[in-house]
Amino acid sequence: MHNAMPNKQSTFFHDVYEVVKLIPKGRVTSYGAIARYLGTAKSSRMVGYAMNAAHALPDVPAQRVVNRNGLLTGKSHFGTPTRMQELLAQDGVVVMNDEVVKFKEVFWDPCVELHLG
């Protein structure tokens, strides 16, 4: 196979979606946490990029993914400026001033949660 480069990076996006799907209702995680869980901590950007593409997938709660500060950095990519906050509110996550309240309490780390089983 000279030009054969089977699905390699495509798996990354797929894995990102799988992890996001595992985020419990009422919890949130960060791009870095997902990247870290996938073993590509430095590719946290790609997680956000994957989320952008995830918009087409209804089973991927992208609103539950925020940056490490708990800021809704991706809210601008939703239909309306308040759509992400509304979706989080439906999950029981309180957002104030584009920031998740009690972020450390609702934070869901796949590296820890999934590791403990």
Partner DNA sequence: GTGCTGACTGCAG
Partner DNA sequence: ACTGCAGCCAGCA
Given 19, 28, 65, 93, the residue binding DNA (CB under 7 A): 65
Q: Angle CA(59)–CA(92)–CA(50) in degrees, nearest 5? A: 35
Given 14, 21, 25, 55, the residue binding DNA (CB under 7 A): 55
Kindly tell me which of 41 and 94 has the beta carbon lying closer to DNA. 41
DSSP per residue over 46-97, as a string? HHHHHHHHHTT-TT--GGGEE-TT-B-TTGGGSSSTTHHHHHHHHHT--EET
Binding mask 83-112 for DNA (x = CB under 7 A): -x----------------------------
Nearest approach, Cβ of residue 76 and DNA (Å) = 7
Given 31, 38, 88, 93, the residue binding DNA (CB under 7 A): 31
Say how far apart CA 28 and CA 16 lie, in whole Å. Answer: 14
Backbone angles phi and psi of 71, in degrees to 5: -85, 140
**Residue 95 CA: distances (Å) to CA of 8, 49, 90, 102:** 36, 23, 11, 9
Stretch that binds DNA, among 35-43, 96-104, 107-115 (CB under 7 A): 35-43
Residue ranges binding DNA (CB under 7 A):
8-9, 12, 30-32, 35, 40-49, 51-55, 62-63, 65, 67-69, 73-74, 76-78, 84
